[in-house]
Amino acid sequence: MAIAWLICVTLAALVLQATPAIADWRDERWIVEDFTNVLGNGPDGGPLAQAGGDVYALCGDESGRLFLSSGQFIDVVTRDGMRSRLAGTGEPGYRDGPAYQAQFRLGFRSYYGAHNLACGPNGVFVPDGGNRRIRRIHKSDGKWQVDTWAGGGSRRLNPGEAAGARDVTFRGTISVAVTANGEVTIADDGGYYRVSPDGRTIRYVGTWPMTMARSPDRAPKLNVMMGDADSRGFVYFVSRTPHFVVRIDPDDTVVHLAGRFAETRTRVRIGDGPPREAYFDTPTSIAVQPDGSAVYVCGGDEYDIRRVPADGAGTTATLMNNGRWGIASVHPNRSRGPAVVKPNAGGRLRPDGELTDLMVSHLLGRDAQGNLYGSINFWTGMTQYVEGHGLLGTRLFRLRRAPARGAQ
């Protein structure tokens, strides 16, 4: 989704085998922007005001469009700021065919209603948990269509086995990521699968690493929330309870990238450090820099966005730091009062960035350029103002990647 589709096969193979790029997190700069203003020339009120509704997940394609999951609908926002309904009737169900007649059961039979969107060269992929399928939204003969890409069958595969993509069944919450060559990776609670770019076959690659198991005699089970892929073909998923980030390399190797176990009765310090030693408190969402330099994870009970080096080296870093659920002394409702975001505030990673003034509970995803999109927690009594603008009514914002320090 993050590099052009027309690439020499030989060059692509070399790039995919490369190690993810390393970047110095201290050089990162971000700009906070109200989401209703990030896409130009739309009607007054911005793209969200046109169709209404909350947004759970988002992805962006190379043409600059954004695709949004809202209830049982998928919407599209064009580069000129126009938002329109793309797929779904709004009623839960299962129906393929013309996009406007399609039906989904998004968030059903999923841990905390988890689902995400993944933009690829061959369509927009949606993990439809209620129907135990991966659905694809794509254009055919100039019209938007929805079809089933994988799942919906009854066959369970063993590691290394392959079958028809629609003959298999998935377990637990399912998530999806798609690489630049159109290969779809699917994660469920027991492990991960690869679907061929033509959608015909699926292969069960294997189970999750035993370093993620609570005991050596029990296979690990992850509650996978969201997934993403970088331009090199590396795929990433985040799990909530247990709190882990995994990376799947182009050669199918699975890597325990970040996170560790911690018993709930133990008071755990949420702080940064080596990725495998850092603790993430109920992470709900993930977005990846297209160049493979970093993974951004949002902790559901942290209200933080945290940066994880994609190569697993160095240390994690907190982009937004807002407090921890249940501890009044650091909870934004008790410690700071209203959260304020300055217009066009520039910032860097903590401790001195102004971005720490914004409370976030979920990362929706990213666009093709690597800009992050988040949602502000809908909290009774919590006020979220943009200075000079007033209450941020949509509760959505963009973190635009600015030139690094020292860049020309």
Q: What is the pLDDT of residues 161-195, one digit of tens each?
A: 999 999 999 999 999 999 999 999 999 999 999 99
Q: Which amino acid is at 362?
A: H
Cα(323)–Cα(332) distance, integer angstroms: 6
Q: Any idea which residue has 């394609």 for tokens? A: 61
User: Does residue 351 have a cis peptide bond before it, meaning omega lies within 30 degrees of 0?
Assistant: yes
- Cβ neighbours of residue 28 under 8 Å, at least 6 residues apart? 307, 319, 348, 349, 401, 404
Cβ-based neighbours of 57, under 8 Å, separated by 6 or more: 68, 69, 115, 116, 117, 226, 364, 365
289-310 pLDDT tens trace:
999 999 999 977 777 888 999 9
List, in sequence order, every beta strand (DSSP E) within 22-122: 29-34, 57-60, 66-70, 73-77, 83-87, 97-98, 118-120
Going from N- to C-terminal start, the domains of the chain cover 22-402
Q: Quick check: 357 pLDDT over 70?
A: no
Q: Amino acid letter at 172?
A: G
CA distances 218 to 93, 169, 190, 210, Å, are 35, 22, 11, 9
CATH architecture of structural domain 22-402: 6 Propeller (2.120)
The Cβ-side half-sphere exposure at 58, using a 13 Å CA radius, reads 27
> Residue 240 has which token pair?
């909530």
Asked whether residue 138 carries a pLDDT value surpassing 80, the answer given is: yes
Percent of the chain with pLDDT over 70: 72
- pTM for this model (two decimals): 0.87
380 burial via Cβ count (<10 Å: 0-12, 13-18, 19+): exposed
| Contact (CB, 8 A) for 227 and 237 | yes
Q: What is the pLDDT of residue 15?
A: 30
pLDDT, tens digit (0-9, with 9 covering 90-100), for 375-385? 876 553 344 55
Residue 21 has pLDDT above 60, yes or no: no
Q: How far apart are CA 290 and CA 231, in angstroms?
A: 5
In our burial notation (b when 16+ CB lie closer than 10 A, e otherwise), range 235-255 reads bbbbbbebbbbbbbbbeeebb
Q: Residue-wise over 92-120: b if at least 16 C-beta within 10 A, else e? A: bebeeeebeebbbbbbeebbeebbbbbbb
